[in-house]
Structure 1
Amino acid sequence: MKLGNLLLTGTAAAISYWLVSNKDKIAEEIQETSGLWDDISASYTKIQKQADIIKNYSQPLKEMTQDLNYKFRVYQQEVDSHLQEIQAIQEKYTNKK
């Protein structure tokens, strides 16, 4: 038998012994990992649903923003015109004195 085959056989035997002696720990880790994987996939699904909800609200919010901006501009124009009237009346009475 060649030395390479002996090393390969010895390594395989050592790995097999290690696996058999630690099978409970390995099985526990596999269960834990599968539990974590399930939690991760559930969280991912939940995040996707929440992202969809946010996307659905973005368009109405955009429309509300545009509407409020329009109303603010109209209000600002109205306030400016009232202020001009007030200033004109004020100048009228301050100039008479």
Structure 2
Amino acid sequence: MKLRNLLLAGTAAAISYWAVTNKDKISEEVHETRNLLDDMSGSYSKIQEQVGIIKAYSQPLQEMAQDLNYKFRVYQQEAEGHLGQIQSFQEKYTKSEK
């Protein structure tokens, strides 16, 4: 037998011994990892659902924002018109008082 084969066999035996002595810890770790993966996949699906809900609301919100911007511009123009009228009345009365 070659030295390489003996080293491989010895390493395999040591790993096997370590695995047998720590089988409870290893199985517990595998179980915990499996639970974490299940939880992660559940969370991922919930996140995907929530992203879909957000996307569904984005279009109506954009339309509402555009509508509010339009109404604000109309209100500003109307207010400017009224302020112009108020200023003209004010000038008229301030000139007549002098």
What is the TM-score with the length of structure 1 in the denominator? 0.99
Aligned residues: 97
Q: CA deviation at 1:74?
A: 0.4
What is the TM-score with the length of structure 2 in the denominator? 0.98
Q: State the identity %.
A: 70
Q: CA deviation at 1:11?
A: 0.2
- 1:75 maps to 75
1:40-55 → structure 2 map (5 Å cutoff): 40-55=40-55
Residue 17 of structure 1 pairs with residue 17 of structure 2: yes
- 1:31 maps to 31
CA RMSD of aligned residues (A): 0.4
Structure 1 stretches (4+) deviating beyond 2 angstroms? Answer: none
Opposite residue 77 of structure 1, the aligned amino acid is Q
Q: Which runs of 5+ in 1 are unaligned?
A: none
> CA offsets, 1:4-40, max 9 Å, x none?
1100000000000001111110000000000000000
- 1:66 maps to 66
Q: Which runs of 5+ in 2 are unaligned?
A: none
